[in-house]
Amino acid sequence: MQFEVIATCNTTRARVCRMELAHGVTMLPTFMPVATQAAIKGLTAEQVESLGITLILNNTYHLNLRPGIKTLDEVGGAHNFQGWNRNLLTDSGGFQLVSLSKFTKITEDGALFASPFTGEPTMLTPEESISIQHCIGADIIMQLDDVVSSLTVGPRVAEAMERSVRWLDRCIEQHERSGRCDRQNLFAIVQGGLDAGLRDRCLQAMIARKDRVAGYAIGGLSGGEEKDIFWRIIKQCAEQLPADRPRYAMGVGFAEDLLVCVALGVDMADCVFPTRTARFGVALTFKGPLNLRLRKHAESIEPIDEDCPCSTCSSRMSRAMLHHIVTIETAGAHAVTQHNLVFQAQVMGRARDAITEGRFPDYLRTFFENYFGNQGYPEWCVNAFRSVGVDLLEGKDLPLIPGSDAKWEYSDAA
């Protein structure tokens, strides 16, 4: 990996970086679409690349089950298997310790899974996770970590954090033995739940291993915790992580969340949100999400967004057409998925441009003004931006919206 900080914001902690991996350059900050089982649902790899996306995510646990390492070995890795020519990151399988917890038993050796498909037991150790990721051939590979729900409290949180540090050492050893450090890059994952003290302990331990890892992820969040706690943990971690390593916030996908993370110093994020919400008929726009299932869109001949360069909008597929087919015909899901991925890319691309041109605080103010209008801004966002010198409410008389809910178009009256 070649990693270079190109520009920094004079007000916030936002930055623009150039990350060169074996399959090309990815400019940061960026959003990574999730292709869990080696496919973005509804799109071909060629379509995804045509959207300007240069980095996607596959999942180690799922690819190990299906198609399996033998098949991936035979085709020369996941890039060839899915026809993807750009950069690839693999999650280690740690998240499945939470999402498939009823199938899982955690020991010091690793995680004993029962396959959700066949019930067959599978032991995923730190060493095995790294070996599987070597076979997958991802440009960025993640350590296996002991993940607990972000709402977990008590001694289990400290146990998981400490085990994640020990498992990192085992992952490092396995990776260094492989001879692949020149083309696959291992990231550590900071754990510790919502406990600031545990996060500090984990940060200290993992930063001490800086010379043996290529980057860092902030894990264990986006699991239902209050957003006012979420951003404080992100800020705490981003402030301490080394400036010469990429910083990755795992599981972050709402536009406002992405911009908060960028302002706090995060470079990368991933989430199923934009693709999953597309399949439910919701299009993401700079004026807020559009629920295309609502009757209010049934006679609209406008595209989702007049200014969007995606093929759905540039071909002027109407909201009425999408209302007619979305959630019914697969073509509707495909069309909205392409649009939503371009929206995510534009949010981050415009952030990069604004940081480079020295106007990132103005970009934030403009984005929130257009996205939320006069209904008020989420209080947690206002607090987060104020912590890095940006007051969204400067010169405005708007209410603060408490809580953690994202903006949504719930009804035809909205």
Residues contacting 243, CB < 8 A, separation 6+: 5
Q: Is 46 buried (19+), middle (13-18) or exposed (0-12) by CB count in 10 A?
A: exposed
Q: Where are the beta strands (DSSP E) in 191-229?
A: 215-218
Selected catalytic residue, list 91, 139, 145, 257: 91
CA-based angle 74:80:86, to the nearest 5?
150
Active site residue 270: yes
Q: Say how far apart CA 269 and CA 261 lie, in whole Å.
A: 9
Q: How many CB atoms neighbour CB 257 within 10 A?
A: 26
Selected catalytic residue, list 73, 270, 307, 412: 270
Q: Say how far apart CA 193 and CA 204 lie, in whole Å.
A: 15
The tokens describing 342, both together, are 């371009």
The tokens describing 343, both together, are 């929206």
Q: Say how far apart CA 71 and CA 139 lie, in whole Å.
A: 19
Q: Say how far apart CA 16 and CA 74 lie, in whole Å.
A: 38
Q: Say how far apart CA 198 and CA 158 lie, in whole Å.
A: 7
Q: Say how far apart CA 282 and CA 256 lie, in whole Å.
A: 16
Q: Say how far apart CA 277 and CA 407 lie, in whole Å.
A: 13
Q: Active-site positions?
A: 91, 270
